[in-house]
Amino acid sequence: KQEVTQIPAALSVPEGENLVLNCSFTDSAIYNLQWFRQDPGKGLTSLLLIQSSQREQTSGRLNASLDKSSGRSTLYIAASQPGDSATYLCAVSNAGNNRKLIWGLGTSLAVNP
């Protein structure tokens, strides 16, 4: 059974720092992995999608990597800003017939001015 873990659960950094959020999964047979951002009381915003055949994806100040064999993904945020404060969630879609998204509990990020 696929399980997704995100560490740390919470993170507080000063503005301008580069930071890394971690996501690990127990079953390497995934179809893709997606990173999302959630602001308090709001829905989810898709940040990056990495297919199982890819090693990384980049969008602006965000870079996500995927190491399927070790069951890990990282989300790198460069030059963090207060507007980056949110909860970051990763979700994996398993290979096979049932490709529902399986979620970590998220990392709550606070970027302090």
Partner 1 sequence: KAGVTQTPRYLIKTRGQQVTLSCSPISGHRSVSWYQQTPGQGLQFLFEYFSETQRNKGNFPGRFSGRQFSNSRSEMNVSTLELGDSALYLCASQRVMNTEAFFGQGTRLTVV
Which pairing describes strands 19-25 and 72-77: parallel, antiparallel, or unpaired?
A: antiparallel
**What is the per-residue binding string for partner 1 in 39-78, x denoting contact by CB under 8 A?**
--xxxxxx--x-----------------------------
* Two structure tokens written together for 60: 């602006």
Judged by CB under 8 A, which of 21, 92, 102, 109 binds partner 1? 102
**Closest distance between partner 1 and the C-beta of residue 106, in Å?**
7
Q: Enumerate helices (H) and strands (E) in the chain, giving the number of each.
A: 0, 11
Q: With respect to partner 1, which residue has the nearer C-beta, 57 or 80?
A: 57
**Closest distance between partner 1 and the C-beta of residue 78, in Å?**
22
Integer Cα distance of 16 and 88 in angstroms: 18
- Residue 89 as a binder of partner 1 (CB under 8 A): the answer is yes
For residue 111, the one-letter residue type is V
- Residue 91 as a binder of partner 1 (CB under 8 A): the answer is yes
**Which residue from 88, 85, 79 is spatially nearest to 8, judged by alpha carbons?**
88
* Two structure tokens written together for 110: 């606070």
Contacting positions for partner 1 (CB under 8 A): 31-32, 34, 36, 41-46, 49, 89, 91, 93, 98-106
